[in-house]
Amino acid sequence: MGDHFVYKDVEGTSTEWDDIQRKLGNLPAKPPPSRPAPWIPAPDEKEAIKDRAWLDNKTEEELEELADDPDLDDDRFLEEYRKKRVAELREVARKARFGSVQSITGSDFIREVSQAPPDVWVVVHLYKDGVPECILLGQCLDELAAKYPGTKFVKIVSTECIKNYPDFNLPTLLVYNNTNVKATLVGLKKFGDRRCTPEDVAFTLCQIGPVLGDNDNSSDVREKVQRDFLEKMIVRHEEGGGKESDDDI
């Protein structure tokens, strides 16, 4: 028959004859038997240690999904911490919803300003391109919008907001909350005139209400704004040689 059967022993074994030949140097040394690498679970298969650090790395959605986790049900501390983290993430998302001055048109005004949620304060900058006072106030508002992302800052060309609005009233700030106009600030006089700084604008806004902070932390915000304003006034006073100008009064 043309077919031959070849017997293959278990890998790594050898015959007595082979062993003799190896001792005589006629065959190379026997290779060590190969063993499979130990099984290591993939990262997602490892049993996570469920502690505060584990919860800190979860998103709000992931934390919500853990509401029915039996391990957390058995650990009162972790379940309370999970709820706390959900509340913290929601608060961060609520406060950081803005962060810059949004440019709007007349058709956007009702939706973006008048119909803003009741808990949102909206500061509207009526301006026109090329007006130096508008440019100065706009720079201050850009800084405040980044510093207080819970407040909505928008800007709109004055005549798109109010037909035939006179340029000599520019810049103008309208402050809205809960569909109502809380203040109308015309010109730069209330902000220190041409020496207007973000601290001046923040200080004036805080006199209207919790424009730069919600009711829970508005007193802290107001104290910080007042402190920044006073520090700025001291610097201005020292730079002016101890003399006050008409703009400072």
* Each residue's pLDDT tens digit, 138-183: 999 999 999 899 899 999 999 999 999 999 999 999 999 999 999 9
Q: pLDDT per residue over 189-233, tens digit each?
A: 989 888 899 999 999 999 999 999 754 444 566 676 777 767 766
Considering only CA atoms, which of 163, 144, 152 is closest in space to residue 114?
152
Considering only CA atoms, which of 146, 161, 61 is closest in space to residue 113?
161
Amino acid at 248: D
pTM over 0.85: no
101-248 topology per CATH: Glutaredoxin (3.40.30)
Task: Dig out the tokens for 77 from the structure.
Answer: 């501390």
Domain boundaries, the chain: 49-95, 101-248
Task: Dig out the tokens for 136 from the structure.
Answer: 């100065």
Strands 152-157 and 172-177 turn out to be unpaired
